[in-house]
Structure 1
């Protein structure tokens, strides 16, 4: 920047500050650092900073931005030797009423202090801290409390003594705002201070905090107590701190009791001594049955963490044996049972989110005997959909060895109740997707068919788009657990049903499902289709799988070369696939994160077990694409709705991309070696097998062949139960509009009846043929 330009820029800055144009002022303030660089240290000190100091009566947003810029100014004024000019303006900013401006100014001063040597710190910075501490107005004192932790370690012992005395005065100031600020910053100062000074000078200060007349100050005494206990000896804690902590459990201030409830694990951790363990447990028991629901709620939220810290105290030396479980059963379990049926729904909701986490501190046998029955009871009897959803969503915390089919014998009824009664709580229904995968992980495929499949289908066709959009996400995980053949038999028929739905929004569901199967959203790994045992193992079974994959790829390539597919693929360059408003995370929210964290989401990875069980994902996917998916896409491309046509083009394009990538992966030397190891006779046999597997069945348009895993009686029973639920719901919604979920339930019941009648007719026909 030329000299004239610099002068002009400075003049424009002055004009902007003299005019009441906030946007223009903010623009010039954002350019203060470049301007100072070009002005040089001397002009910055003599012209720019004095000008800014004279204009401290501007909008708070301007002052906030000035504070942020000044944090970078120390090298621009010539180093810490010239820090005084910066400190002068920052002291003014430390004195404004707006808290954010003061905090930013304190942060800037802290950065400047860190770059000073000890001598400059004591000569230049300490007087600034003392000056702020001695101001009459609360703003300067509040700002000063945040600077002691920066200064204290770098000054002489004599000056440290002065600073401690000043801080003790601030923490006992007449203004509650100053006392609160001092208490907050005392937490860091305690870590820096010598133990002897803590005991002599700051324990009395702690006593004052613990008895403060203002709740906002008093609650901070809990954190200060924890910080002090980390630095003091066992005897000092017992003599000087513990009595105050013990009294907080019955203090008149519910906010203090609430703070203690959430901090009780930290209290137990810093006071792990056998002498006080029982007293802390007694305090926690009082908090669990506190008369204030907000206290009980936070006490319950601390249950898992408190149990973990309590268990550690029994396992740490010099303990002879671990008595945690007997203590838990005697002292905590009765309170947990009482809370599971208490009147406050919010407390029960927190308990429902916490109960299952106790598996991490209890033995499996103890958990199954005492906690699991409570979980089942809350799930089956609590009328709150949120509580039921919380339990289902946390089932993943249970070990994979724990069979849930017996304790959750009435799970089917719970799921039906949740879906029907959650018309206004659609996120509760979406939670079921996570629950389905948790249950699938610890049960077999037959259990899923009998208890979960029909409800998963209901979520695929939910009236809320976000659920319909999210429901297909778990399909790749179901394939990993149960196999592609199971998925084709039990889930894909629903796609054929949805693609004919009269409402075009439901015709999207098969496209969402196909997209998730070919490009899983839960798979965070690099998209490579031949991986794992397919590359690392060389044996006849792997070679056969590789040959099948190669032949399947060739068949799909040929299919995509047919006119019907070719014409669709030719449109891909002329169509803009803009699905920004269809961002899956927008609809799934944290569902995707939970699934990724709790399940092995490397979908295309092939293990030795997958090879042995013929459950290779990519092989099953190619078979599904050829026999089902391409046909569904071709049908939906003929849809009258343009958006469905566009998404069909997008899906077919994705299939083409996957096939092309597989062609490249099949060119690897390791894959060629597998194929070369097979004889011509073996290849001919594999080719014949592929031909048999890749037969595209013609759809019977006269009836839907959706096998929901239920026999005729089960279907009629399910339809009857659904109608009974509907009748109850209709009575409860007198003079109100019946929720859409009820209408969906009626539709579902009708379909179940239709399926039952169709099966009866089919059975009757078969019997007649047998007789003939």
Structure 2
């Protein structure tokens, strides 16, 4: 073997020993290319053993190596028959101290498990799992728990029995980190089991972990509970899991109860309708009344999803009293979560109950001192509108909307502006003109630039909703009138509005109304206005260029103004005018 044949490995060794971490990372990312250059045999005989020994490095480099080994490197080793060779380096990586490296190593081993030839699962992968499961350091045992699910479907029945026993031992490990890993991976492993083994093997492990003295272990068993419930029929759930469900809902740790609350709909759907009516309603009420705000917030987020599983009278008699309490909850986060979800009850309760029971709560939340509560209510009004109709909705909620539109916090005003097109679509043009039109124009004169900017975008969206004819009579004259305002900020707003509206206005409105105001502002004393006029003329010219009449209008009325601005004494004005002229010339 001459020196040229050794070159790729030599380069890799040198780069992996370099002081610069970027060089080492670069070497790792080129492993596939180096393996290809070496050829399958040398890659198997030289590269893989070398990688198996390359563990004395920074965590970032080891993480990259763990990732690269799972990226189809077996193709460069000669095909799937040799994929098992990659398990050696990965097994070493699965025992290191850094969690991210171990997780990436088990992820890559899972990928390799899927491409192994069937006899190789028992020959190579299962012994690896056993070695990791009995490792002296907890790091190897935590990695092992992730590898039972991938290999289980590919092995014989006696080996499956050994794997079930091995996982049971991990669930009873003395080290909390190992039990935590077992709780995390019990669900995926359970999915691979036959139904009888779910009852005989998975449930005992679950029960042990669900009763663990560490809440960091117990909270991970909530997902396991859901998966097990999904795999059992209703009678088995009632016999095997009801005590566990009650235990989780009443757990002494708020973090466990939070996990139950955050996943309550999924759990309720898994246990079946009969148990929902008999048990889960009481459990949900208990979570809504929990003494920890985080738990109440999580439960409030499940409100419409869980209520869909209930009859309307159950919602009214059991759930709604808790909702009323939450609407005045001491925690603003609880009220905000409720505001986001309460509208979802309207389709479930129907028109009469919504008007009688929910509307008072909407109005209460719309007056909440916390902006997010009010905004969350506004964002979901279309659900209420679909149930009670726009007349009742507008009569009840419009005063609150107007109050929000004038809120002292500009972010609240901005958020309301963004919802106006949605409200306009729901309310209709007549109602909008009578109640909200003046409000939209008022925002154009707001002291905060972001509000003025949002108001201009809002006018464009409203024009798209109601049409150009509406804009011609309702908003364009008011916008153009601001062009004569003595305060230059109002004149600037007019130019910004024209630039934004131009693409949605037709030739007639542009010719008869817009251009007159723009041309008038060509001679404005403020340079910032003049160069924004040049920008506006550029946009208008581009929109007019789509028709012969528009191009003629551009040549007759726009080009002379740009020529004037090209000779302006301000360099920025000249720059934007020249740019507009160049673009106009390219469109001829």
Q: What TM-score, normalized to structure 2?
A: 0.86
Aligned pair 1:390/2:376, yes or no? yes
* 2:510 match: 625
Taking the TM superposition and a 5 Å limit, the aligned residue runs for 1:149-548 are 149-308=149-308, 310-311=309-310, 324-379=311-366, 381-399=367-385, 402-409=388-395, 413-415=399-401, 417-423=403-409, 426-500=410-484, 507-519=491-503
Offset at residue 269 of structure 1 (A)? 0.7
Instruction: State how many pairs are aligned.
Output: 549
- Report the CA distance between 1:481 and its aligned residue: 4.2
Instruction: Report the Cα offset of residue 427 of structure 1.
Output: 2.8
Contact 2:238-2:275 at 8 Å conserved across structures = no
Whole-angstrom CA distance in 2 between matches of 1:44 and 1:231:
44
1:281 is displaced (CA, Å) by 0.4
Measured at CA, do residues 636 and 158 of structure 1 come closer, stay the same or move farther in structure 2, by a change above 3 Å? farther
Deviation at 1:155, TM superposition (A): 0.6
Q: Which is worse superposed, 383-392 or 414-423?
A: 414-423
Distance in 2, Cα, partners of 1:12 & 1:66? 17
Going from structure 1 to structure 2, the CA distance change for 1:175 and 1:434 (only over 3 Å counts) comes to same
Is residue 346–residue 384 contact of structure 2 (8 Å, CA) maintained in 1? yes
Change (3 A) 1:383 1:334: same
- Select between 327-336 and 77-86 the one with higher mean Cα deviation: 77-86
1:31 aligns to what? 30
SS of equivalent to 1:661 = coil
Moved more, 265-274 or 437-446: 437-446
- 1:434 Cα shift? 3.3
Q: Is the 8 A contact 1:517 1:621 kept in 2?
A: no
Q: TM-score, normalised by structure 1?
A: 0.67
Contact 2:503 2:540 in 1 (8 A): no
Displacement of 1:280 after TM fit?
Answer: 0.8
- Asked if residue 655 in structure 1 is aligned to residue 540 in structure 2, the reply is yes
1:104-123 correspondence runs (5 A): 104-123=104-123
Higher mean C-alpha displacement, 100-109 vs 10-19: 10-19
Q: Which whole-Å deviations, capped at 9, do the CAs of 1:9-64 have from their partners, x for residues lacking one?
A: 53333222223211221222222211110011222222223333322111111111
- Check the 8 A contact 2:103/2:143 in 1, yes or no: yes
Higher RCO (C-alpha 8 Å, min separation 6): 1
SS across alignment from 1:20: coil
1:480 Cα offset (Å):
4.4
CA contact 2:234–2:272 (8 Å) conserved in 1: no
Which residue in the other structure is 2:39 paired with?
40
Q: Is the 8 A contact 1:403 1:442 kept in 2?
A: no
CA distance 1:665–1:637, shift in 2 (3 Å): closer
When residues 227 and 133 of structure 1 are mapped into structure 2, their CA distance, relative to the original with a 3 A threshold, is same
Relative distance call for 1:349 and 1:273 in structure 2 (3 A) is closer
Map residues 58-69 of structure 1 onto 2, 5 A cutoff: 58-69=57-68
Q: Residues of 1 paired with 2:248 and 2:50: CA distance?
A: 52
- Which residues of structure 1 form unaligned runs of 5+? 312-323, 521-619, 667-772
Using the alignment, how far apart are the partners of 2:485 and 2:9 within structure 1? 68
Say if 1:60 and 1:101, in contact at 8 Å, map to a contact too. Answer: yes
What do the CA deviations read for 1:148-184 (whole angstroms, capped 9, x no partner)? 1210101101111111110111122112221121222
Distance 1:639 1:173 in 2: 80
Q: Distance in 1 between matches of 2:117 and 2:11?
A: 37
Structure 1 residues 412 and 145, CA gap change in structure 2 (3 angstroms): same
Instruction: Give the Cα–Cα distance (whole angstroms) in 2 for the partners of residues 113 and 622 of structure 1.
Output: 66
Q: Which region of structure 1 is more displaced relative to structure 2, 428-437 or 650-659?
A: 650-659
Deviation readout 1:715-772 (Å, 9 max, x if unpaired) = xxxxxxxxxxxxxxxxxxxxxxxxxxxxxxxxxxxxxxxxxxxxxxxxxxxxxxxxxx
Structure 1 residue aligned with 2:575: none
Other-structure match for 1:766: none
**Which 10-residue stretch deviates more, 636-645 or 131-140?**
636-645
> Is the contact made by 2:463 and 2:471 (CA closer than 8 Å) also made in structure 1?
yes
Deviation at 1:502, TM superposition (A): 6.2
Q: Aligned in 2, Cα 1:267/1:69: closer, same or farther, shift over 3 Å?
A: closer
Q: Deviations over 1:254-291 (max 9, x none)?
A: 11111111222112211223255232101111111111
Alpha-carbon distance in 1 for matches of 2:533, 2:171? 68
Structure 1 Cα separation of the partners of residues 209 and 513 of structure 2: 71
Q: Distance in 2 between matches of 1:635 and 1:170?
A: 81
CA RMSD of aligned residues (A): 2.7
**Distance in 1 of aligned mates of 2:540 and 2:440:** 26
Shift of 1:90: 0.9
Gaps of 5+ in 2: 552-588
- Displacement of 1:448 after TM fit? 2.4
C-alpha contact (below 8 Å) 1:404/1:439 kept by paired residues: no
Counterpart Cα distance in 2 of 1:214 and 1:634: 74
Mapped to 1, the partners of 2:465 and 2:46 lie a distance apart of 72
Separation in 1, partners of 2:549, 2:36: 55
Q: CA deviation at 1:137?
A: 1.1
Please list the CA deviations of residues 206-238 of structure 1 after superposition, one character each: whole Å capped at 9, or x if unmatched: 111221111111012221111111111222111
Contact 2:443 2:452 in 1 (8 A): yes
State the Cα distance separating 1:119 from its structure 2 match. 0.6
Change over 3 Å in CA distance of 1:403–1:265 after alignment to 2 = same
- The secondary structure found in structure 1 opposite 2:250 is coil
On the 8 A contact 1:382/1:388 being kept in 2, the answer is yes
Q: Which residue is equivalent to 1:541?
A: none
Shift of 1:496: 2.6
Kindly indicate whether the alpha-carbon contact (under 8 Å) linking 2:17 and 2:24 is maintained by their aligned counterparts in 1: no
Q: Which residue of 2 aligns with 1:769?
A: none
Residue of structure 2 in register with 1:535 after alignment: none
Q: What secondary structure, in the 3-state scheme, does the structure 2 residue paired with 1:519 have?
A: helix
Q: How does 1:608-687 map to 2 (within 5 A)?
A: 621-639=506-524, 644-663=529-548
Q: CA deviation at 1:441?
A: 2.2
Maintained 8 Å contact 2:264/2:302: yes
Aligned match of 1:554 = none
Indicate the larger mover: 459-468 or 296-305.
459-468
